Structure 1
Amino acid sequence: MIKSHLPKHGQTKNNKGFGSVEFLLVAAPLLMLGMGSIEASYWYITRQASSLALFEAARAAATSHANPQNIEQAFEKALQPLFVPAGNFTSPSARMLAYFSSIQKKTGLAPWRIVIKNPNQADFIDFQRKDLPISQQTGLPAIDNNYQYEQHQRSGTGTFSGHNIFQANTLQIELTYPYRALIPGLGQLFRLLADNQQDYDKQLMRQGILPIKQTLSISMQSHPVLWPVEANGKVLYSHTPASGNGIDSSHTQGMPTCSGLWCELNTRPIDAPIPSETTLPDNPLNTIPDNQQVPSPNETGNNSPTASNEPLPEEGISVDGKDPACGVTLCCT
């Protein structure tokens, strides 16, 4: 006798809905996994696009005296491919500006930020050159980018920065780019993780926005200049100038205004007042230290009896090899 394995009518009614429950148990993890994959892919694309834009901004800065305006323009121009297609906007640039505007309205801060970490304020104190054309045109501190090996042999390591001229001519910038997640629930997670972040990052994460941070270093191909910047602008320095222009006066008390041929870098006390203008000495022989000897007329090949009352020729002066003027040639026209 063959028995039927078909369920009875009452048992079929009791099992109704089991298939929907099983589908939800399987579909929910798969759906979250798919959404997470899309989120991770979009985050990676955003990170790569912002990295390439940061590189273009660094290239523009290296050839334009690290001008913040050029950095901002180059970064936003190179970032436009991230906002393709334009969608409801007229162009990718318009879509990008709309995104930045929404970030700025939500946070009250700049939509993104690049911090110039090097050269810093101490580098300009140690290595600034006021006779550079760009410094004379702008009236701002500048660092000489030419003949860096010769400068290093002459000046060595800076007193206040601890850097050499090669490091002072290396541009290091740090980008903080805001990433708005596609999954709404991730914004709340970012808010919970905002406590241990820095100021700008913390304020972004408190609004449910994830900051993407990247750092890039590149050698300068022009004279670095300490440009004025806005306090809440998109491009800032690692220090905050008091007036937004030049070197912060609160950090320069007791510091020399230059480190050139006639600056008394190693002899001036820290608390000594700094002269407003640096002038050349009237008699170069008066600046020779006590440990340096001026040769006699016989040693210089000059037998004139009046030679002792006249300035000695430059090649007849014995100079210490550690003197900062060693190897420097002064040309007069």
Structure 2
Amino acid sequence: MRLIDHLLHPGGHLRRPLPVATTMAGRLVQKRKTRQRGTSLIEFSIVAVPILLIGLGSVEIAQWFYVKQAVSIALLQAARAGITQHAKPQVMETAFEHALQPLYASPGHSSADRLQRALARRAQLTGGPAWQMEILNPTPAAFHDFADARLGLSRETGLTAINNNYQAEQDQRYRAQGRIQGLGPRSGLSIYQANVLALRVTYLHEPVLPGMKALMRQLSKQTGSYADQAMARGGYLPISQELELTMQSHPVDWPALGNQKIIRQQAYESIQGTSAPPSPCHGLWCLDMKPFSAGSLPADPASLPGTSLPETGNPADSVGNPLPGGETGGASPDPGIDDLAVTPDDPACGVTLCCVDG
């Protein structure tokens, strides 16, 4: 751009630009170009840095969700092994770590070896176990309330065990013995809740981005919990998952493992909460049920043709041992109370029994 003298000549012609003015215009343009150097770089940095951080954060979040899903599957596998193997800690530990191997798959090395090396490194950095699983239920109080010393498994191991068989009949007997709604005096749980395996696992996720471990150390809280210590010492991000499954075998109060990978909690509160009082009759069996009236049933059911009364003896478990409260031992119910009396608030109403008022 050149500075042009736009003043007209008295004759009407344009004046020719002066050489001095042209030189000054060139110097002015050169100064303006020098002042604008680096402007594009600054603008790019303002926009690119946040986009780069968001992209890196997305990679870290995606990796975290992937590991969380794998930990959830591993916890499910550990719980499945536990409910079928009497909640044995060694069985659950093996099943959990075996299910974590897909996280360390490699074409050149064994995934099991890579997993063990990673767990050993985390244990060395944190000063504790590489992961920790808590047995939330059954609690020690539940074992005290519902222990059955006549189980063959209890006699073989010398440990306390809860009977998993005939839970509805057990609940009826506990109610007949005077327990309010069949709940244990120490645990506050029913026989159904005592036969639920509840687990909580805390897995240490190693951040993939550089500098994230240092950030985790700065954000950690100075408490004595396992998760906070792992963040403060190793910079790992804890992933916590919980799961409840119904036991398919007799729960046993096994001793804790020496490596502290699986520990037992002293108290437990079911995630299902406390339900409202049930209706007098509910469930599929009560859809078309009509109340019984006087004279609708014979006074003696045995007088009906082809009718035989069932045996009222105490049922036996899978190893042939009678349940608690039978004639062979244990506390006996009040003679004035029917041994098989069912109240409308019985948990089996609508499931295996049809219950009505009256």
TM-score (norm 1): 0.70
Partner of 2:232: 206
Q: Secondary structure at the match of 2:203?
A: strand
Partner of 1:102: 121
CA shift for structure 1 position 132: 1.1
Runs (5+) with no aligned partner, structure 1: 241-258, 263-278, 282-286, 293-318, 329-333
2:336 maps to which of 312, 320, 327:
320
Pairing 1:37–2:58 present = yes
Partner of 2:325: 261
In 1: Cα distance, 2:154 partner to 2:337 partner: 30
In 2: Cα distance, 1:34 partner to 1:226 partner: 48
CA shift for structure 1 position 56: 0.7
Tell me the alpha carbon deviations over residues 250-280 of structure 1, each in whole angstroms, 9 at most, x when there is no partner.
xxxxxxxxx9439xxxxxxxxxxxxxxxx96
CA RMSD for the aligned pairs?
3.1
Pairing 1:234–2:261 present = yes
- Do the aligned partners of 2:164 and 2:250 also contact (CA within 8 Å) in 1? yes
Partner of 2:154: 135
1:161 maps to which of 178, 187, 196:
187
CA shift for structure 1 position 92: 1.7
Tell me the alpha carbon deviations over residues 59-83 of structure 1, each in whole angstroms, 9 at most, x when there is no partner.
1101000010110111111111122
Classify 1:280/1:234 alpha carbon distance in 2 versus 1 (closer, same or farther; 3 Å): closer
- Which has the greater radius of gyration? 2
Classify 1:196/1:260 alpha carbon distance in 2 versus 1 (closer, same or farther; 3 Å): farther
Partner of 1:46: 67
- Do the aligned partners of 2:170 and 2:324 also contact (CA within 8 Å) in 1? no
Count of residues paired in the alignment? 257
CA shift for structure 1 position 199: 1.4
Partner of 2:271: none
Tell me the alpha carbon deviations over residues 77-107 of structure 1, each in whole angstroms, 9 at most, x when there is no partner.
11111223x26x6122222112111110001
Q: 2:143 is aligned with what amino acid?
A: F
Displaced runs of 4 or more, over 4 A: 1-7
Partner of 1:255: none
CA shift for structure 1 position 225: 0.5
- Do the aligned partners of 2:138 and 2:194 also contact (CA within 8 Å) in 1? yes
Tell me the alpha carbon deviations over residues 185-221 of structure 1, each in whole angstroms, 9 at most, x when there is no partner.
3333333433275511121111211111111000000
Partner of 1:221: 248
1:83 maps to which of 90, 104, 114:
104
In 2: Cα distance, 1:288 partner to 1:103 partner: 54
2:215 maps to which of 189, 194, 199:
189
1:63 maps to which of 51, 76, 84:
84
Partner of 2:137: 118
Classify 1:143/1:113 alpha carbon distance in 2 versus 1 (closer, same or farther; 3 Å): same
In 1: Cα distance, 2:220 partner to 2:337 partner: 56
